[in-house]
Amino acid sequence: MRKVLVTGGAGFIGSHLCERLLNDGNEVICLDNFFTGSKENILHLLQKPYFELIRHDITMPFFIEVDEIYNLACPASPIHYQYNPIKTIKTSVMGAINMLGLAKRIKARILQASTSEVYGDPAVHPQTENYWGNVNPIGVRSCYDEGKRCAETLFFDYHRQNKVDIKVVRIFNTYGPRMHPNDGRVVSNFIVQALQNKDITIYGSGKQTRSFQYVDDLIEGMIRMMKTGSGITGPVNIGNPIEFTMIELAELVIKLTGSKSKLSFHALPDDDPVQRKPDIRYAQEVLNNWVPDVDLEQGLIKTIDYLKHKIKI
Ligand code: NAD
Ligand code: UDP
Q: Is 210 in the pocket of ligand 2 (CB under 6 A)?
A: yes
Percent of the chain with pLDDT over 70: 100
Mean pLDDT for 129-143 is 96
Ligand 1 closest atom vs CA 179: 3
Give the pLDDT confidence score for residue 312 in this predicted structure.
Answer: 81
HEC secondary structure over the chain? CCEEEEECCCCHHHHHHHHHHHHCCCEEEEEECCCCCCHHHHHHHCCCCCEEEEECCCCCCCCCCCCEEEECCCCCCHHHHHHCHHHHHHHHHHHHHHHHHHHHHHCCEEEEEEEHHHHECCCCCCECCCCCCECCCCCCCHHHHHHHHHHHHHHHHHHHHHCCCEEEEEECCEECCCCCCCCCCHHHHHHHHHHCCCCEEEECCCCCEEECEEHHHHHHHHHHHHCCCCCCCCCEEECCCCEEEHHHHHHHHHHHHCCCCCEEEECCCCCCCCCCCECCHHHHHHCCCCCCCCCHHHHHHHHHHHHHHHCCC
Give the pLDDT confidence score for residue 227 in this predicted structure.
Answer: 98
Ligand nearest to the CA of residue 264, numbered in listed order = 2
Ligand nearest to the CA of residue 31, numbered in listed order = 1
Give the pLDDT confidence score for residue 301 in this predicted structure.
Answer: 98
- Mutational pocket test of ligand 1: of 35, 92, 117, the residue with most ligand atoms within 8 Å of the beta carbon: 35
Q: How confident is the model at residue 230 (pLDDT cuts 50, 70, 90)?
A: confident
Cα-to-centroid distance, 168 and ligand 1 (Å): 15
Give the pLDDT confidence score for residue 7 in this predicted structure.
Answer: 98
Give the pLDDT confidence score for residue 43 in this predicted structure.
Answer: 97
Cα-to-centroid distance, 186 and ligand 2 (Å): 5
- For atom 27 of ligand 1, the residue with the nearest CA is 76
Query: pLDDT tens, 263-290?
Result: 999 999 998 999 999 999 999 999 999 9
Is pLDDT of 313 > 90?
A: no
Q: How confident is the model at residue 48 (pLDDT cuts 50, 70, 90)?
A: very high
- For atom 16 of ligand 2, the residue with the nearest CA is 186
Give the pLDDT confidence score for residue 277 in this predicted structure.
Answer: 96
Domains and CATH numbers, the chain: 3-175+215-240+275-293 (3.40.50.720)
Ligand nearest to the CA of residue 36, numbered in listed order = 1
The mean of the pLDDT values for the chain is: 97
Q: Is 245 in the pocket of ligand 2 (CB under 6 A)?
A: no
